[in-house]
Structure 1
Amino acid sequence: MVVTGASGGVGRAVVRMLGAQGAKVALIARGTTGLGAAAVDVGAEGGTGQVYEADVADYEQVRHATERIEKEMGPISVWINTAFSSVFAKFTDISPDEYERTTAVTYLGYVWGTKAALDVMGPRDAGAIVQAGSALSYRGIPLQSAYCGAKHAVKGFTESVRTELLGDGSGIDITLVQLPAVNTPQFDWVLSKLRRHPQPVPPIYQPEVAARAIVYAAEHPERKEYWVGASTALTLLAQRAAPALVDRYLAWSGARSQVTDEKAPTGVSNLWEPADESTDHGAHGSFDHRSHGHSPQLWLSQHRRPVLLTLAAGAAATVAATVVRAKRS
């Protein structure tokens, strides 16, 4: 089982869970220290972890890592893409090279990982690819145009590949796990041009919630999409039902909800270089005290209860609309 972005955040939580299942896990990321610690985690949980340093934005590095994995660990049965980077800033404050780099990591990293996986799975006509998506693939928000654009692209790309595989009668499945705001080191090491420290948009979930969804999707990849978190369900429904209302709501609250009042940005950036080259940041960020450990929406998504999920999201959308009307009045 291959996991990109395995050294920290959601990817780190995923490899720990895979280790607990006794899996053989190939860990792909850039940071030497983070990767090494992740491999130790896999072994401590009962699995086998092996490190493959690669920048997912570079197809040749991904292809070379794939060849080594197949040779050293055996045939790849599951490929999980979680790697990303981004910039917290208004679009007008992001330079062209920063935008291009974010897109190369967060979008093309998934494209290259998917291509590498299909190249080795195709001749065997078996395997599963899991993409860690985002609620922001349905709805862009302020200060994250680079990330939102890339996640929208991942969704469209994945849907296109899925239809091709279905058309070919392939035995390979590809699925999306749409994640909410997650308490990961992202908010401490992603490039920020904000005056205050960035934070996830509440409600916030622990990375283990995301990891459970991703591991479940790897075991049940025939479903095209899984939802995690109340915000994911709300975002999908609200965007479909009242996009103009969502625009106004985000214009009013979107930027403020993404910064804290307590501290300034860390000054660390993993956009060009890994932030865990010499320091292991683990899976969790700095918002443990505000993060949820469970997601009812994931259970509904896993157990095919779309009507209940839609009703729950609809109730939340009604509350949001009431808040906006009150603010405007």
Structure 2
Amino acid sequence: MSSRTEHPVAVVTGASGGVGRATAREFAARGYRVALLARGEDGLAAAAEEVRRAGAEALPLKVDVADPDAVERAAEETETALGPIAVWVNDAFTSVFAPFTEIEPAEFRRVTEVTYLGYVHGTQAALRRMRPRNRGAIVQVGSALAYRGIPLQSAYCGAKHAIQGFTESLRCELLHERSEVRVTMVQLPAVNTPQFGWVLSRLRRHAQPVPPIYQPEIAARAIVHAAEHPRRREYWVGGSTVATLVGNAVAPGLLDRYLARTGFGAQQTDRPRDPDRPVNLWSPADQRPGSDAGAHGEFDRQAHHRALQPWASRHRGSLAAAGGIALAAVGWALRR
């Protein structure tokens, strides 16, 4: 490798699978040194090998982001081994697919600790290093569900809403102190990742993303773009995200009724749920040899390889009509 200035350092949490895995590869392809934070040993090792095959330096670190001390140690080890952190991407999460009344308090707490507080811990660790240097970018990987809650995902939606709120507060504080550290958020659509075979589910049938489904590489390109252009406060990925966010801003009650009718069926396949499949709520699903799932889930045939990003996010004003069309479609569906 050449000098550290030529090859900046990016930290990616949740890097062993899904969007985090694809994002680590994208950073590597663009010449970054990459620290990969995750719990699962097999997926973490495989992700690090992919980064190295792309010609970049990889530092795999086994970390549970719910533990703030562990996240702080990982940040320190990253700077010691790779150099100053230029980009920190918060992506790690877990979830429970179930009606709210069927989620145990400990399960709801665990989702919150990983999916929300994990972002808080990562952001704090990044800021301890970036603020004294007065440079750096923090990318919060969000979702359309940061604005619009849907049935069967109350714990996850609550965490994503919380991330949105604390990020807005932090952004204002950084602007107040005229800091050159930037924080941005990337709101994603449904993505074809292994999570739908990993998360704790009490659904009768196998869980699936709400169509339309996009491949994780689309999300990864948007995240790296946001890291390199962090002055924009938010990026929206995919036409479905645009329609959801605009529609929710205009007529949230209409979406309540629509999701009450469609949200249960849209999140389940026709196959029964396998009660013996691995669950990653309390421990990683990829912690034994041969258990690495990679970046993609099982929905490759349905997943789109292209989206309206970055064009859509740069032309939100021109897309108000998309929200109107989506609302008209919702209204038509409700009248059926």
TM-score, length-scaled by structure 1: 0.97
**1:21, CA displacement in angstroms?**
1.2
Letter of the structure 1 residue corresponding to residue 57 of structure 2: T
Q: Which residue of 2 aligns with 1:86?
A: 95
**1:309, CA displacement in angstroms?**
2.1
Q: Which residue of 2 aligns with 1:293?
A: 305
How many residue pairs get matched?
Answer: 324
Q: Which residue of 1 aligns with 2:54?
A: 45
Q: Which residue of 2 aligns with 1:54?
A: 63
Distance in 2, matches of 1:255 and 1:28, equals 33
Distance in 1, matches of 2:324 and 2:190, equals 19
Letter of the structure 1 residue corresponding to residue 123 of structure 2: T
Q: Which residue of 1 aligns with 2:331?
A: 321
Regions of 4+ moved over 6 Å: none
- 2:207 paired with 1:198: yes
Distance in 1, matches of 2:246 and 2:180, equals 32
Distance in 2, matches of 1:91 and 1:306, equals 33
**1:49, CA displacement in angstroms?**
0.9
Unmatched segments (≥5 aa) in structure 2:
1-9
Q: Which residue of 1 aligns with 2:277?
A: 267
Q: Which residue of 2 aligns with 1:310?
A: 320
Among 292, 296, 303, which residue is 1:284 paired with?
Answer: 296
- 2:119 paired with 1:110: yes
2:237–2:312 Cα contact (<8 Å) kept: no
Letter of the structure 1 residue corresponding to residue 52 of structure 2: G
**1:298, CA displacement in angstroms?**
3.5
Q: Which residue of 2 aligns with 1:67?
A: 76
Distance in 2, matches of 1:181 and 1:113, equals 24
2:204–2:272 Cα contact (<8 Å) kept: no
**1:319, CA displacement in angstroms?**
1.3
Letter of the structure 2 residue corresponding to residue 137 of structure 1: A
1:74-110 CA-partner distances (Å, limit 9, x unpaired): 1101000110000000111000000000000000000
Letter of the structure 1 residue corresponding to residue 261 of structure 2: W
Q: Which has a greater percent of helix?
A: 1
Q: Which residue of 1 aligns with 2:3?
A: none
Distance in 2, matches of 1:247 and 1:297, equals 27
Distance in 1, matches of 2:269 and 2:318, equals 33
- Equivalent position SS for 2:36: strand
Task: Output the aligned Cα RMSD.
Answer: 1.0
Unmatched segments (≥5 aa) in structure 1:
none
- Equivalent position SS for 1:239: helix
1:192–1:267 Cα contact (<8 Å) kept: no
Distance in 2, matches of 1:179 and 1:203, equals 12
Distance in 2, matches of 1:51 and 1:78, equals 16
- Equivalent position SS for 2:221: helix
